Amino acid sequence: QEVHAAQMERTFIAIKPDGVQRGLISEIIARFERKGFKLVAIKLVIPTKSFAQKHYHDLKERPFFDGLCDFLSSGPVLAMVWEGEGVIKYGRKLIGATDPQKSEPGTIRGDLAVVVGRNIIHGSDGPETAKDEINLWFKPEELTSYTSNQEKPDS
Q: Find the angle CA(55)-CA(59)-CA(63) to the nearest 5 degrees.
A: 130
123 lines the binding site for ligand RTP (CB under 6 A): yes
**Calpha distance 50→37 (Å, rounded):** 31
**Calpha distance 20→1 (Å, rounded):** 47
- Among 27, 125, 132, 142, the residue binding ligand RTP under the rule CB under 6 A is 125
- Do the bridges between strand 121-123 and strand 77-83 make them parallel or antiparallel, or are there none, so unpaired? unpaired
Short-list 98, 106, 88, 105, CA closest to 37:
88
Separation in Å, CA 135 to CA 9, 28, 79, 147:
14, 22, 12, 22
Binding mask 54-73 for ligand RTP (x = CB under 6 A): -----x----x---x-----
Question: Measured from the CB of residue 111, what is the shortest distance to ligand RTP in angstroms?
Answer: 16
Please give the positions annotated as active site: 122
117 lines the binding site for ligand RTP (CB under 6 A): yes
Q: Which lies closer to ligand RTP via its Cβ, residue 114 or residue 144?
A: 114
The annotation status of 48 as a binding-site residue, yes or no, is no
Contact 11, 81 (CB under 8 A): yes
Q: Which lies closer to ligand RTP via its Cβ, residue 19 or residue 84?
A: 19
Single out the segment in contact with ligand RTP by CB under 6 A; choices: 24-32, 46-54, 120-128, 145-153: 120-128
Annotated binding site: 16, 64, 92, 98, 109, 119
Residues that bind ligand RTP (CB under 6 A): 59, 64, 68, 98, 116-117, 119, 122-123, 125
